[in-house]
Every structure is written in structure tokens, then in C-alpha cells.
Amino acid sequence: MDKKLMRLSKFLSLVLRHKPQQIGLTLDSAGWASVTDLLAKANAASLHPVSSGSRF
């Protein structure tokens, strides 16, 4: 697996499973978040810039 893709995967796993507050993401009562919100918050945090139109 490409290093960039692996880092992005680990980052998203961390944020979605354990630390959504790290980027200011709020999950609903079922643990879901909008993909749009996830991408916006991740980009705003400048941790791992991503876009919905790219394949990383």
C-alpha cells in the first residue's frame, strides 16, 4: 500500500473510531458523521488534506 494512502487510512481510523474531537468533528448518536463535514474538518485542521474528488 502506498505510504500516503496508509497514513490517510490510519488518520481517518483514529478520527472516526477514537478521537473525532481532534479535528472538531461531531458524531451523531449512532456514531456517524457527514463525509462533507469530515473532509472539511480534516482540511481545516491541516493534518491530512483530502478531497472528495481524488483517489489520494
C-alpha cell at 28: 451523531
Give the cell for residue 36. Answer: 462533507
User: Which domains, ranges and CATH numbers included, belong to the chain?
Assistant: 3-44 (1.10.10.970)
Q: What is the pLDDT at residue 50?
A: 62
Q: Which residues of the chain are under the pLDDT cut of 50?
A: 56
Using left for φ > 0, alpha for ψ between -120 and 50, and beta otherwise, residue 43 falls in: alpha
What pLDDT score does 56 carry? Answer: 44
**pTM of whole model > 0.85?**
no
pLDDT, mean over the chain? 84
